């Protein structure tokens, strides 16, 4: 399988061969689902939760006396029926054991994802990405526009500081590396922008 390698300005440069062992596999939905659930579960920080009436701050003093005011009796301003009060059945994060997926399963699942992207023609190859200093978002927008892309996930073989700075505030461009790629972002991507070096590294890592 060969795809056109484009220059940064959108013109055709050459062709790159996508290895069948990485980009030509059958999609294993069950295995990919297991990878995504494992990745999502392990990414939770388990630090957020809700406060019940004992966790909410304040409310030590009775708002008004029990009788004689004509109002309903109240014991604390942190009652769940009060604005700013605690939650009745507050959710608490429990410390969960991290899920695991072995290397063989991970590689197979990632091969399935890359093969799916190749089958749907979502992969766009580029020769290289050069960002001039100072890095500006307009440079990234121009590159995407020249390539005919509205939104793209850029997967590089190594970190590119200039591209990271220029795309930091852009929602239409997400930059990742092969070593720290998000499989869920890869599946959801409208287009995936890669370089020849990315293909070579993917072949080494996922073979």
Each residue's pLDDT tens digit, 129-188: 888 888 888 998 988 898 888 999 999 988 888 888 988 888 989 999 998 899 999 999
Across 133-154, b (16+ Cβ under 10 Å) vs e yields eebeeebbeebbeebebeebbb
CB neighbour class for 198 (10 Å; exposed up to 12, middle 13-18, buried from 19): buried
Taking residues 5-23, report their average pLDDT. 84
- SS3 state at 131: coil
Q: Interhelix angle for 103-119 vs 29-43, to 10°?
A: 110
| Rounded Cα distance, 58 and 76, in Å | 9
Rounded to 5 degrees, what angle do the CA atoms 181, 182, 185 make?
125
Report the mean per-residue pLDDT for the chain: 89
Q: What is the pTM of this model?
A: 0.78
pLDDT at res. 76: 92
Above 90 in pLDDT, residue 88? yes
Q: Which fold has domain 2-28+98-206?
A: Ribosomal Protein L4; Chain: A; (3.40.1370)
Q: How far apart are the first and last CA of the chain?
A: 16
Taking residues 48-70, report their average pLDDT. 89
pLDDT tens across 110-121, in order?
A: 999 999 999 999
| Rounded Cα distance, 101 and 125, in Å | 30
Cα-Cα-Cα-Cα torsion 193, 196, 200, 202, nearest 10 degrees, comes to: 0
Show Cβ contacts of residue 159 under 8 Å, excluding neighbours closer than 6 positions. Answer: 177
Contact 4, 78 (CB under 8 A): no
| Rounded Cα distance, 95 and 16, in Å | 46
Rounded to 5 degrees, what angle do the CA atoms 198, 200, 203 make?
105
Give the percent of the chain with pLDDT over 90.
46
Above 90 in pLDDT, residue 97? no
Sorted by where each begins, the domain ranges of the chain are: 2-28+98-206
């Amino acid at each position: 399988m060969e795809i056109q390698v484009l220059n940064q300005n959108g013109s055709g440069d050459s062709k790159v061969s996508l290895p069948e062992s990485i980009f030509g596999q059958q999609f294993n939905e069950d295995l990919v689902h297991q990878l995504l659930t494992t990745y999502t579960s392990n990414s939770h920080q388990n630090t957020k939760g809700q406060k019940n009436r004992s966790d909410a701050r304040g409310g030590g003093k009775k708002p008004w006396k029990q009788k004689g005011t004509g109002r309903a009796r109240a014991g604390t301003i942190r009652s769940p029926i009060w604005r700013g009060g605690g939650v009745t059945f507050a959710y608490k994060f429990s410390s969960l054991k991290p899920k695991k997926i072995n290397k063989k399963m991970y590689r197979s699942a990632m091969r399935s994802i890359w093969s799916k992207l190749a089958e749907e023609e979502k992969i766009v190859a580029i020769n290289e990405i050069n960002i001039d200093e100072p890095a500006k978002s307009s440079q990234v927008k121009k590159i995407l526009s020249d390539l005919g892309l509205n939104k793209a996930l850029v997967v590089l073989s190594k970190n590119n500081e200039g591209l990271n700075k220029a795309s930091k505030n852009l929602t239409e461009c997400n930059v990742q590396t092969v070593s720290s790629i998000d499989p869920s972002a890869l599946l959801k991507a409208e287009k995936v922008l890669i370089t020849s070096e990315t293909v070579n590294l993917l072949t080494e890592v996922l073979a």
